Structure 1
């Protein structure tokens, strides 16, 4: 992999919502991280990696009985309207560590009901449901740092 390909990957990584990215082959390893305490880094040179790298990005085809299951799972996960983060902060799915989650997948919610809290600058900001519906997907982990516009929950 040459330096221009590494720079292009870095640009794509920085513009994405991914928090970490690792790629490894016989010639070397490449790791990027946006998490605190980690630095973006490149280890071990990979001068002949472009062909292997292009091959690793080829689409994977699933056949047999698993193909339908994968398709159905992808369809179910994408159902509903995404609720996005209005600010940058830390997402909390529970009101406190010893309490139950605000919502779980499959829960019915009413417009205005709290879905989670995002802490920004020591202020707890409740994220309300924009409409009545059913939670089909929770797309953040507890105490995950979320970005402005990042999808948090899907409601159908």
Structure 2
């Protein structure tokens, strides 16, 4: 293929929406492509916001032990909980009380639960993770609403051991 034929191919390519052409003739190959830059689709950045940290101000020049962070107010104090064991979320995800929207809840407040019994499901990255009880006892309180997001370490249930 000579230079004149290659120029004709380039001119033909300019008049179309084709971005690349390859011609094989008599054992030689010519590939012509336009200098079109590829476009990439990117997802918007995901921002994770850490829970606020609480610090107490220290007097200037003080070099002693750091001041303890003030306790955050909670709906229930530890004295209100008695000897109840707290079940926390092992992951970030969405909390579900039942295996499907029309099914009965795994557990209800006041019911007895056995060690290894499924308490809820936490959906994380499209995977359904069953959360099992590590204690036998009476379910005192469910601390999270159905279909609400939960964080790692967030309190889910109170179980009073028997």
- With normalisation by structure 2, the TM-score equals 0.50
| Count of residue pairs the alignment pairs up | 90
- Residue matched to 1:102: 106
| 1:14 aligned residue | 52
Superposition deviation, residue 15 in structure 1: 4.3
Q: 1:150 to 1:74 in 2, by over 3 A?
A: closer
In 2, are the aligned partners of 1:109 and 1:134 still within 8 Å (CA)?
Answer: yes
1:85 aligns with 2:89: yes
For 1:5-154, what aligned pairs fall within 5 Å after superposition? 14-15=52-53, 78-79=81-82, 80-154=84-158
The Cα RMSD (Å) is 2.5
Indicate how the Cα distance of structure 1 residues 12 and 89 shifts in structure 2: closer, same or farther if over 3 A, else same. closer
Alpha-carbon shift at residue 131 of structure 1 (Å): 1.1
Find the aligned partners of 1:119 and 1:101 in 2 and give their Cα distance. Answer: 15
Where structure 2 has 5 or more consecutive residues not aligned to the other structure, the ranges are: 1-48, 55-75
**Runs of 5+ in structure 1 lacking a partner?**
1-10, 17-72
Matches of 2:108 and 2:149, distance apart in 1: 19
Provide runs of 4+ in structure 1 moved above 6 Å.
73-76
Deviation digits for residues 75-110 of structure 1 (CA, Å, limit 9, x no counterpart): 785241000000000000011111111111101000
TM-score norm. by structure 1 comes to 0.52
Indicate the SS of the match to 1:126: strand
Match of 1:19 in 2: none
Pair member with larger Rg: 2
Q: Could you say if the C-alpha distance between residues 12 and 121 of structure 1 is closer, same or farther in structure 2, counting changes exceeding 3 Å?
A: closer
Report the CA distance shift for 1:15/1:141 in structure 2 as closer, same or farther (over 3 A).
farther
